[in-house]
Structure 1
Amino acid sequence: MNGPWPLWPSVIALAVAVIVIVFAGSRLARTADELADRTGLGEAVAGAVFLGAVTSLPGIVTTATGALEGDAAFALANPVGGIALQTVWLAIADLLYRRANLEHAAASLENLLQSIVLIALLALPVVAFATPQLQVGWVHPVTILIPVFYLYGLRLVRRMHDAPMWKPIRTNETREDNPAEEGTGSLARLWITFAALGLVVGTTGWIIGRAGLGVIAATGWPSGITGFTVTTAITSLPELIVLIAAIRMGALTLGVANIIGGNVFDVLTLSVADAFYLNGTIYSAAGATSLVLLGGTLLITAVLAAGLLLRDRRGVGFEGVSIPVIYAATIVLAL
C-alpha cells in the first residue's frame, strides 16, 4: 500500500468530497422519489433499499480502505459511527420540519421494523467481540451471518409493505405516501441516472478513506475516534442531504427511510471490514473502544425505535433530545 497522504492534501481532499456529495445527494433524493412512485415500491421500501444502499457507498469504500491498510479500529468505527451520526441527522431534521415531530409525521411500520432489524443486526458484532477466537478462514462467522440476517430483514419489510397487520393512527400532521404524477422520462433513463449518481458518491468514499488515514497519521488522533467522528461526518453527508431534500419535497417517509435503511445497510459494512482486514478477525484487533462505540450506537437506535413507536406530536420529542446527548456521551466515554 502507498504511504498516508500529508495533512493538508488530506484536508483539501475531504473538503472536495463534501462538495461532491452535497451536489449529488440532492439529486439522489429527487431520483429516488420518482423511482418509488414509478416502481410502486413506495417511499419506505425505496428509501431503505435504493437510497440506503447508494448513500452508504462512501462509508463502505472508506471502511474497506481502512481495513486494507490494517487499521482495525478505524475500519470498525466508521460504519458504527455512520449509524450513530445518521440517526443524529434525524434529530436535526426535526428542527427543520416545524409542523410536527418528524417521526410522528412520517408514520411508517416499515421504518419501525427496519429499526428493530437494525438493533438485531448490531447485536451480532457484540457476540463477535466476545468470541474473537472463532474464525472461518480469516473472518469471524458473524461476518457471514450479517448479510443473511440483512436479506431476511428486507424480506420481512417487503412482506409488511404488501400485507401490513398493524397500521399507525393517522392524524392531521401525518403525511401520506401518495405517488406523484407520472414522470416524463423513461424508467430506464431514471435507473441510469440513479446508478451514475451512485458511482459518483461511491468514488468519494475512497478519497475520504485515504484522506482520513492521512489525518490520523499526521495528527496522531485515535483511529477509532477519527473514524467515529471526522470521516463519518463526511461519509454520512449523503444521508443528511437526501433527508433535507426529501423534507423539502414533502417526501417525509422517504427521508426517514433513507436514514434507517442506510443504517441497516451500514451494518453490512462491518462484514466488509472483516473481509478486507487480512490479519485475522477484525474484532480481535479493534480494541475496547470499538465496543463502547457499538454500545452507544445500539442505545441510540433503541431510542429512535421508541420515538417511531410513541410518535410524540411535538416538533422535537424525547428522541430528538436524547439521541444527540447519547452520541456526545459515547464519544466522551471512548476518549
Structure 2
Amino acid sequence: MVEVGMAIVLAAVGTAIVWKGSGWLEDAADRLAIGYGLPAAVQGAIVAAAGSSMPELVSVLVSTLVHGEFELGVGVIVGSAVFNLLVIPGIAVLIDEGLETTRDLVYKEALFYMLAVATLLLTFSLAVVYYPHDAGELGGTVTRPLALFPLGLYAFYVFTQYLDAADHDDESDERVDLPRTWIRFGLGLALIVVGVEALVRAAIDLGDAFGTPAFLWGMTVVAAGSSFPDAFVSVAAARSDRPTVTLANVLGSNVFDLLVAVPAGILVAGALTIEFAHVAPMMGFLVLSTVVVLAGMRTEMRLSRREAWLLLVLYAVFVAWLVLESVGMTSVIRP
C-alpha cells in the first residue's frame, strides 16, 4: 500500500506541474496566434494543438526510451484521445450552455481526424501482416518505414492548414513581443516534460503494485494528467466565446497525437513491437467515441447539454472498463 500511496502522490505532483505548464503554454499559444495573425481554426488545430499535445509526445518518448514500454505510450495516446473527445467538449458545453460547430470543423477537421485514426490502425495492421514477431501471437514490429506513413499524412494536414492561413486576410499584431512569448512557450513545455515523467513513473509503479500491464494505467492516469493542457486551452476558449478554437484544438491535438507522437517513438527507437490484441480494442473504443462526437457536432451544428452528458457518461464507461481490466474481471485487452 505504501508503493500505491507514493505512486498516487507522484501522479498528483505530475498533474500539478503539467497544469502549471499548460497555463503558460495556453497564454503563449494564444499570443503567438494573434502575433502572427492566424485564423481561429489554424490557431486551434496547429499552434495550440501541437503545443498542448507535447505531453503525449513526451510520454511516448519517455515510455519507450527510458522505460522500454512502447505500449504504455500507445495507451497514453489512445486514453488521451478518448479524454479529449469526450471530457473536454462535455465540460466546455456544460460551462458555456452549448457549443456551436461549423461545417468546416465537421467536414474537414473531424473527417480528417477519422482518417488519422484509420491510418494509425492500418499502420499497426501492416506491422502484424508484414513483420510478425511471433507465429503464435497476433503481434508485429512497427518499423521506421511504416512510421513514415502516418507522418506523411500529418504533413499533408499541415499543408491544408497552411493553405487556409494563406487565404486568411487578418493582419498580424505587431504589439505582441514574439521572442518573449516564444520563451514563455518553451518554459511551459519544459514544465510539462517534468510533469509527464512523473506521471509515467506513477503508471509503471501502479502497474507493478497491482500486477497489471502499465499501459492500462497509462490510458487513465497518464492520459488524464497529460490532457490537462488540452482541457485548459479548450475550456478557456469556450469561456471566452471561441467555440471554433475549442473543437479545433481537440481534433487537432488528437491528429497530432496519432500521426506524430506515436511514430516519433518508433523513429527514435528504430523498431518497436505491438500486440494487436491489446491495440485493437483500444482503437475500437476510440472509433466509437469519434462517431458519437461527430454525430453530436453535426446534429443542428452544435453540441447540446444532453449530448455533453452523453459524452461524459461514455467516458465513465471507458474508465469503468479499464478498472475491470485492471482487477481481472474482464480480459479484453489484458493478457
Establish whether TM, by shorter chain, passes 0.5. Answer: yes
Q: Which amino acid aligns with 2:43?
A: A
Equivalent residues in 2 for 1:116-265, closer than 5 Å? 116-131=111-126, 132-135=128-131, 139=143, 141-163=145-167, 184-265=175-256
Report deviation, 1:228: 1.3
CA contact (8 A) 1:243 1:255 kept: yes
Report deviation, 1:141: 3.8
> What's the CA shift string for 1:192-245, capped at 9, x where partnerless?
222221222233222221222122112223333212112111011111122222
Q: Which one of the candidate residues 297, 310, 315 is aligned to 2:304?
A: 315
CA contact (8 A) 2:114 2:290 kept: yes
> What's the CA shift string for 1:154-208, capped at 9, x where partnerless?
21233245459xxxxxxxxxxxxx99x9585522222222222122223322222
Report deviation, 1:27: 3.3
Which residue in 2 is equivalent to 1:38?
35
Q: Which one of the candidate residues 87, 91, 103 is aligned to 2:85?
A: 87
Further displaced range: 6-15 or 191-200: 6-15
Q: State the TM-score, normalizing by the size of structure 1.
A: 0.80
Which residue in 2 is equivalent to 1:171?
none
Which residue in 2 is equivalent to 1:271?
263
Q: State the TM-score, normalizing by the size of structure 2.
A: 0.80
CA contact (8 A) 1:124 1:142 kept: no
- The whole-number CA distance in structure 2 between the counterparts of 1:150 and 1:288 is 26
The number of residue pairs the alignment matches comes to 310
Equivalent residues in 2 for 1:55-70, closer than 5 Å? 55-68=52-65, 69-70=67-68
SS of 1:282's equivalent in the other structure is strand
Further displaced range: 132-141 or 47-56: 132-141
Which residue in 2 is equivalent to 1:115?
110
Further displaced range: 190-199 or 130-139: 130-139
More helix by percentage = 2
**CA RMSD, Structure 1 to Structure 2 (Å):** 3.1
5+ residue gaps, structure 2: 132-139, 322-331
Which residue in 1 is equivalent to 2:325?
none
CA contact (8 A) 2:17 2:192 kept: yes
Going from structure 1 to structure 2, the CA distance change for 1:163 and 1:306 (only over 3 Å counts) comes to: farther
CA contact (8 A) 2:33 2:47 kept: no
Which residue in 2 is equivalent to 1:173?
none
Which residue in 1 is equivalent to 2:327?
none
CA contact (8 A) 2:59 2:196 kept: yes
% same residue: 22
- The whole-number CA distance in structure 2 between the counterparts of 1:65 and 1:214 is 15
Report deviation, 1:260: 1.5
